[in-house]
Amino acid sequence: MSTYPASDQRFKEKDASEKQSSDVPFQPKQNLIYLKWSEKTDLESLESNTNVFDLVCFSHLRWDFVYQRPQHLLSRCAQARRVFVVEEPLDSPDDSYYLDISRRECGVWVVVPHLPQGLSEDQAIALQRLLVDALIAEAQIQTPILWYYNPMAVPFTHHLDASAIVYDCMDELSAFQGAHPELQTREAHLFELANLVFTGGLSLYEAKQHQHSSVHAFPSSIDAAHFAQARAIGEEPSDQAAIPHPRLGFYGVVDERMDLALLEGIAQARPDWHLVIIGPVVKIDPALLPKHPNIHYLGGKSYQELPSYLAGWDVALLPFARNESTRFISPTKTPEYLAAGKPVVSTSIRDVVRPYGDEELVYIADTVPEFVTAIEKALAQSQTNDDWLNRVDAFLSQISWDLTWQAMNELIEAAIVTSKQGRKSSVRQEETSTATELVSSRK
């Protein structure tokens, strides 16, 4: 990894080399802030296209964790403009603080702050502000589009001069386990700053529509061609090949949103069925996961690998618990399962019931007996599914991540124009006010 110092004229800033008490403000010696660029980075690729505004995203999700909504949208955005995704900070091994910056194949720059351990929240905010300012200066980012997934970033970014501010609200984060107590307050501030608010589903739109004047619903979409590969793949992944049929599959993050009791009940009710669970276990104790010979935890897989696993399933599952953390979710995997040609059984998550359940594209069930019955129907359907599959394809032909990004981008461009007009009007008003004051002072 190569290290390049930020411009010393603009950023001779704070040095955290001396231990500080968590309740003592930083009074460190001046020093350079360092931006650490990956050795693979072609610094010429950092050159800005002066014809378009860069986009800087602040995310609570790691770019390389699970491929989902942010990756689908921002990788498309990166085809036309520079995109920087600033993640939540990691602990540095010492008292240093820096940004670790690397570029992904899709063109997105992933920016990971590293901060000293033991900081107070105010200290962490102050350092992140310094580091973000260093990034803005060194990469020559001028009046960017600020794109938020994480309202907790507002305190160290609200000072930035932006061409437009977008809040892509993909979840009700305050309902998640371990949510910061200030999250709702920070989100309210973000609503005040934002030009546009996008929501990840219809339920979330209904909850947020009265909190801002420009809220737009963009439910989970689909890269249909990618998942349709599952309809033709013949070779099984090695860790799934030996699992007997019928196979009932799930992929995604395994956390407090999953109904573990439901999984347990299905496995016990039908020991001849095999449940394949793909994905990382997060925020719950792995020891709490139900363990039976017919439940197979295969761990996380890449986005590129998913179709090959889907191809070997007989039924796809959405076994979400019905609680506050799932009240507003719009699972991206619903259309992905369908694009793979797999019958789907889901609990009554509102954004699955509408539209997929209402259109009779997905079976809806909640209790163990209901789920078992629905799976039996889905297994029978998979043998004679031509009419269902035609309806699935007709539905999915109306949605795509390309269409979603196109619609979002049009709204953003319009917001930039409106923001420019507002700035010009504000400048004229200030000039008029100043001239009036001068005339009055001479009377």
Q: Are residues 263 and 344 in the same domain?
A: yes
pLDDT of residue 419: 82
pLDDT of residue 23: 44
Which residue(s) pair with 109 in the sheet? Answer: 84, 103
Which CATH number do you get for residue 60? 3.40.50
Q: Which helix (H) or strand (E) holds 153?
A: none
Phi, psi of 337 (to 5 degrees): -55, -45
Query: What number of other Cβ atoms are within 10 A of residue 305's Cβ?
Result: 13
Domain boundary among 217, 251, 272: 217
Alpha-carbon span 389 to 341, nearest angstrom: 7
Strands 83-86 and 55-58: parallel
Alpha-carbon span 78 to 135, nearest angstrom: 18
Residue 12 in domain: yes
Alpha-carbon span 34 to 252, nearest angstrom: 36
Are 395 and 224 contacting, i.e. CB atoms less than 8 angstroms apart?
no
User: 10 lies in which domain range?
Assistant: 2-217
Q: Are residues 249 and 174 in the same domain?
A: no
pLDDT of residue 40: 56
Residue 415 in domain: no
Q: Are residues 157 and 256 in the same domain?
A: no
Report the alpha-carbon angle 362-367-370, nearest 5. 55
Report the alpha-carbon angle 159-160-161, nearest 5. 120
Which residue(s) pair with 248 in the sheet? Answer: 275, 315
Residue type at 432? T
Are 401 and 76 contacting, i.e. CB atoms less than 8 angstroms apart?
yes
Q: Are residues 183 and 102 in the same domain?
A: yes
Query: What number of other Cβ atoms are within 10 A of residue 241's Cβ?
Result: 9
pLDDT of residue 45: 62
Q: Are residues 230 and 322 in the same domain?
A: yes
Q: Are residues 391 and 280 in the same domain?
A: yes
Is residue 146 helix, strand or coil?
strand
The answer for residues whose C-beta is within 8 angstroms of residue 325's C-beta and 6 or more apart is: 172, 175, 176, 177, 256, 257
Residue 428 in domain: no
Q: Are residues 67 and 213 in the same domain?
A: yes
Residue 26 in domain: yes
Alpha-carbon span 424 to 428, nearest angstrom: 6
Output the CA–CA distances (angstroms, integers) from residue 150 to 66, 81, 178, in the order listed. 16, 21, 14
Residue 437 in domain: no
Q: Residue 257, exposed/middle/buried by CB under 10 A (0-12, 13-18, 19+)?
A: buried
**First-to-last CA distance in the chain?**
66
Report the alpha-carbon angle 11-58-200, nearest 5. 170
Q: Are residues 157 and 194 in the same domain?
A: yes
Residue 202 in domain: yes
Residue 75 in domain: yes
pLDDT of residue 386: 84
Which CATH number do you get for residue 234? 3.40.50.2000
Q: Are residues 173 and 67 in the same domain?
A: yes
Q: Are residues 243 and 155 in the same domain?
A: no
Residue type at 297? Y
pLDDT of residue 31: 47
pLDDT of residue 275: 98
Is residue 258 helix, strand or coil?
strand
pLDDT of residue 382: 63
Alpha-carbon span 304 to 224, nearest angstrom: 13
Q: Work out the angle between the directed axes of helices 368-381 and 260-269 (0-180°, nearest 10).
A: 60
Q: Are residues 325 and 210 in the same domain?
A: no
Q: How many domains does the chain have?
A: 2
294: its two tokens: 């017919």
Consecutive 10-residue averages of pLDDT for the chain (443 residues): 35 36 43 67 63 95 95 97 97 91 95 95 96 94 97 97 97 85 94 97 95 96 97 93 98 95 98 98 94 97 97 97 91 96 97 96 97 96 80 96 98 93 58 53 54
Are 58 and 147 contacting, i.e. CB atoms less than 8 angstroms apart?
yes
Q: Are residues 119 and 40 in the same domain?
A: yes
Residue 24 in domain: yes
Domain boundary among 196, 217, 238: 217
pLDDT of residue 94: 86
Output the CA–CA distances (angstroms, integers) from residue 75 to 57, 228, 290, 393, in the order listed. 12, 20, 36, 25
